[in-house]
A and B are shown apart, each in its own frame.
Chain A
């Protein structure tokens, strides 16, 4: 640094007049006297080996854009990859609201200073509850895989059992996250996750295999609808019924954006539902837009009591007709009970809940129904056209929402090679499933949403046709 002190725009008290006044007030010559609290042997006496500063905001922005411009976005290429992070349209009003400085910068203020934050949260919970047909909705946390694992742990605490049955079609990534939470076998508090076979024609859970595996040590049966591989799980009600017959809970993993047209988990007998709110108004942010929710029946307080995430209840105020919102049964969380609490809570994805509240409010029942119809029709159109290509077949279910399995075995090409070639045509192909599901051969999980019109789908089909020829 030059001898003239530099006053950084982010550090007001670097101004000598303030700094000197504060030091004088404290009777100190320099801040080093405060750092005398740190013994010399623990001090870092070097200068951090990081780049010199880019002081001008103008230059910083240019530098950052030079880096970011090396990315290719889904506004530039056509993206047909989903697999748990989906490209849905984000209404401009959603970004307008969540970029408000008040919401963007707020943190732990209480209802008297941050009322709007609490009300928006409650409105998120309430609207998601309507989509799910469940009365209890908790404050979301990291993502679907995380809340799946937490739901399994929650079911374990409620039932006192230590085995959870999951669909073999579950995403390996989601399963890996859940396994991290459910601990390796060597730990005494381990929860065993056991895969239930699927019907090779439809992808749906094999109910006979489910019955075979169920016993009185099973805490929960977890199913997904739509499944990771895109199919609609039409056996959901039956799965819940079978689980209940064995004293196990039914946990539904759902994509909430489908619930304008698909039966909600609450109506299918699920005790707990989990999933991701990313499709409800979040940009993908390379996965940063993900956020996992947990919802539950509230006819028995055991569900709320064992829910590991923060819960917010509607209150009233001393003024008749005025509402407030505040955190309920906070004692049970890690903030209340540390290692005796229910898992842990922490800063997770608050802003996304406000985005989703706005999204659900603008969509309304009509918007969700139309979104469902558009996704289903266009996805089936894409599947139909792709399936007409030589060597290309559509795998698994004839009934899917926005994702489906495309098999390329007949082309003699790998998905990896096809996707590489599609890149050259400005297309991001579907998720390569050959590592996760070797039994599906060279298959990709293709995702079509309302963002892809017929013209874009036709371009995908033409591109694939050229690549596999």
Chain B
């Protein structure tokens, strides 16, 4: 071991002297490990793997389906005889033909070419709460006692599942302060849509539709807070931030009227700024006769700290795949928990899980319900995991989750704000809670390197690319990290060092960043006109062959 490496190890990343400035610290960290820093000399797996449709050999097969028994055939004859003329497929589908190991190897290679979250520190995906999903949960949901259940089984044979769902609902009610819950929505946005439908039912019952037809949201609330009330049939009024980044209270006051259905807003918003006057906004809406919903997709920073109901909200939701630890699964399957106050409970979708004595029931007899938002019961894999996660942490553990998330975020903030080209718009002097929306506008101005370039470069260091922002980009050249409780101090140091390194590169030689990635599973993407041009886009291999290959 050379002396420089020994020194680096002895010094360690945690033992840095406190008199070191944040700037000095990230400079020190933004070096490769072998130079005493925390950056990784990473190389992405590259398998040069064809598309599976190109890998077919006629006659190969991946699995055998049980054949029809002789006695069955004798009794009923050929299956083909039951297919009416015209309904019988003439040409076999052009699916690939491969033996089983070849299929397995192909998808294992694709999995290796996926950094995901378990391998790559996923600190950058703010608004997504990329936390560790305990592996023991996966053993539970894969067990046949969870995986091989039919949703319409007699409820006597689903008592374990119903108990988990009921109790998990009780915990979430306690965490939010709300009175009733459904776990039917198939994701966070779906829970938000459910809210728009519940508000619709509430005003329909009062005979106030369609006169009341305007939903108020804010630009820093998730896009679904604007899109789902539109789908429910409402007009949407979007409030912009004031100079401090808070939703403009005067604009909210000006927006409310006898047409106001309510509001659907986030707090803290995507900026990570907690709105300390949130209850005043709620009051303004309530005074106009409207209802108030808060989008708590990522509630990580406020578990056990603040509750939606205490701020006056009538309804809220949680994403179980964010705050409550379900793995994100390449964007699902997910579960949305939607909670309401007593007054709105009768409108929740059916069925609700109820308890009588020691028995749990599915209650369909709810005449004022909005009906269904998702088929059957919902996706309760997420509920099994959320229940297990809450049980493993308990009341103090949940609070610890919140506190460490907020501490991690502020620590990372200190490191990032020491990096040239990084700024944090709005609310100077106020600390953010669980995430921060930063801007690289200065970097862009001074080097020509923008946030998308940085996004593509950082993966060369073995960390997951970051989330920039929802559209529109109110904050220019944005990025939004959310370093939840999962990440260690060393992880945060590494992440900040990546951003520092890319910033240094941008100032020294912007082409390095502009031409990135340099070490991904693929080269820089081309034929980008296919992203917008009907003659070029190909959503399937058959379309690609028809449009592009034929043309050539």
Contact across chains for B159 and A71 when beta carbons are under 8 A apart? yes
Query: Taking the complex as formed, is B356 at the interface, i.e. its CB lies under 8 A from any CB of chain A?
Result: no
Given A19-B407, A35-B305, A120-B107, answer yes or no on A453-B373 (Cβ-Cβ < 8 Å). no
Which of these, A98, A261, A341, contacts B227 with CB under 8 Å? A341
Query: Taking the complex as formed, is B307 at the interface, i.e. its CB lies under 8 A from any CB of chain A?
Result: yes
Among listed B188-196, B338-346, B436-444, B497-505, interface-contacting one:
B188-196
Determine how close the nearest CB of chain A comes to the CB of B34; give it in whole angstroms.
23
Determine how close the nearest CB of chain B comes to the CB of A337; give it in whole angstroms.
8
Residue of A nearest to B489 (CB): A18
Query: Taking the complex as formed, is A405 at the interface, i.e. its CB lies under 8 A from any CB of chain B?
Result: no
Contact across chains for A364 and B98 when beta carbons are under 8 A apart? yes
What per-residue 1/0 map shows which CB atoms of A325-339 lie under 8 Å from chain B? 011111000111111
Contact across chains for A146 and B186 when beta carbons are under 8 A apart? yes
Contact across chains for A260 and B148 when beta carbons are under 8 A apart? no
Query: Taking the complex as formed, is B140 at the interface, i.e. its CB lies under 8 A from any CB of chain A?
Result: yes
Given A19-B404, A263-B87, answer yes or no on A315-B487 (Cβ-Cβ < 8 Å). no
In the bound assembly, the distance between CA atoms of A106 and B95 in angstroms comes to 27
Query: Taking the complex as formed, is B355 at the interface, i.e. its CB lies under 8 A from any CB of chain A?
Result: no
In the bound assembly, the distance between CA atoms of A262 and B18 in angstroms comes to 71
Which of these, B68, B189, B231, B329, contacts A104 with CB under 8 Å? B329
Residue among B160, B378, B408, B430 with most chain A CB within 10 A: B160
Determine how close the nearest CB of chain A comes to the CB of B312; give it in whole angstroms.
9
What per-residue 1/0 map shows which CB atoms of A341-361 lie under 8 Å from chain B? 101111111111110011011
Inside 8 A of A43's CB, which chain B residues have their CB?
Answer: 305-306
Query: Taking the complex as formed, is A215 at the interface, i.e. its CB lies under 8 A from any CB of chain B?
Result: no
Query: Taking the complex as formed, is A137 at the interface, i.e. its CB lies under 8 A from any CB of chain B?
Result: yes
Contact across chains for B118 and A81 when beta carbons are under 8 A apart? no
Determine how close the nearest CB of chain A comes to the CB of B527; give it in whole angstroms.
4
Query: Taking the complex as formed, is B258 at the interface, i.e. its CB lies under 8 A from any CB of chain A?
Result: no
Contact across chains for A343 and B406 when beta carbons are under 8 A apart? no
Contact across chains for A260 and B223 when beta carbons are under 8 A apart? no
CB-contacts of B163-178 with A (<8 A):
163-164, 170-171, 174-175, 177
What per-residue 1/0 map shows which CB atoms of A231-268 lie under 8 Å from chain B? 01110110000000000000000000001111110010
Inside 8 A of B88's CB, which chain A residues have their CB?
Answer: 261-263
Inside 8 A of B285's CB, which chain A residues have their CB?
Answer: none
Query: Taking the complex as formed, is B144 at the interface, i.e. its CB lies under 8 A from any CB of chain A?
Result: yes
Among listed B1-9, B127-135, B248-256, B506-514, interface-contacting one:
B127-135
Given A44-B305, A127-B53, A291-B333, answer yes or no on A119-B517 (Cβ-Cβ < 8 Å). no
Which of these, A116, A286, A346, contacts B150 with CB under 8 Å? A286
In the bound assembly, the distance between CA atoms of A217 and B543 in angstroms comes to 32
Inside 8 A of B139's CB, which chain A residues have their CB?
Answer: 61
Query: Taking the complex as formed, is A469 at the interface, i.e. its CB lies under 8 A from any CB of chain B?
Result: no
Determine how close the nearest CB of chain B comes to the CB of A158; give it in whole angstroms.
15
Residue of A nearest to B106 (CB): A361
Query: Taking the complex as formed, is A198 at the interface, i.e. its CB lies under 8 A from any CB of chain B?
Result: no
In the bound assembly, the distance between CA atoms of A49 and B63 in angstroms comes to 51
Contact across chains for B395 and A52 when beta carbons are under 8 A apart? yes
Contact across chains for B372 and A177 when beta carbons are under 8 A apart? yes
Determine how close the nearest CB of chain B comes to the CB of A85; give it in whole angstroms.
6
Contact across chains for B118 and A41 when beta carbons are under 8 A apart? no
Contact across chains for A290 and B376 when beta carbons are under 8 A apart? yes
Chain A interface residue bracket vs B: 35 or more
Inside 8 A of B10's CB, which chain A residues have their CB?
Answer: none
Determine how close the nearest CB of chain A comes to the CB of B90; give it in whole angstroms.
7
Determine how close the nearest CB of chain B comes to the CB of A122; give it in whole angstroms.
7
Contact across chains for B52 and A361 when beta carbons are under 8 A apart? yes
Contact across chains for A34 and B528 when beta carbons are under 8 A apart? no
Which of these, B85, B390, B531, contacts A50 with CB under 8 Å? B390
In the bound assembly, the distance between CA atoms of A351 and B154 in angstroms comes to 28
Contact across chains for B456 and A54 when beta carbons are under 8 A apart? no
Contact across chains for A364 and B174 when beta carbons are under 8 A apart? no
Query: Taking the complex as formed, is A438 at the interface, i.e. its CB lies under 8 A from any CB of chain B?
Result: no
Residue of A nearest to B488 (CB): A12
Which of these, A50, A109, A129, A284, contacts B151 with CB under 8 Å? A284
Among listed A23-31, A160-168, A205-213, interface-contacting one:
A23-31
In the bound assembly, the distance between CA atoms of A153 and B276 in angstroms comes to 40
Which of these, A24, A31, A83, A188, contacts B403 with CB under 8 Å? A31
Query: Taking the complex as formed, is A368 at the interface, i.e. its CB lies under 8 A from any CB of chain B?
Result: yes
What per-residue 1/0 map shows which CB atoms of A106-124 lie under 8 Å from chain B? 1111111111110111110
In the bound assembly, the distance between CA atoms of A259 and B73 in angstroms comes to 21
Contact across chains for B82 and A284 when beta carbons are under 8 A apart? no
Query: Taking the complex as formed, is B49 at the interface, i.e. its CB lies under 8 A from any CB of chain A?
Result: yes
List 16 interface pairs A-B (beta carbons < 8 Å), by A numbering.
A50-B175, A50-B390, A67-B164, A74-B150, A103-B116, A115-B521, A127-B96, A145-B375, A153-B231, A326-B525, A328-B539, A338-B238, A344-B224, A362-B61, A378-B72, A450-B66
Which 8 pairs show the lowest CB-CB distances between chains A and B?
A: A362-B62, A346-B189, A53-B394, A287-B376, A116-B110, A70-B160, A351-B329, A334-B227
User: Knowing that A113-B114, A365-B95 are A-B contacts, what are 16 other residue pairs whose CB atoms are under 8 Å apart, sorted by A's residue number?
Assistant: A8-B400, A52-B394, A53-B394, A104-B327, A116-B111, A133-B93, A153-B231, A180-B373, A285-B380, A329-B532, A336-B471, A364-B95, A371-B65, A374-B67, A376-B83, A431-B152
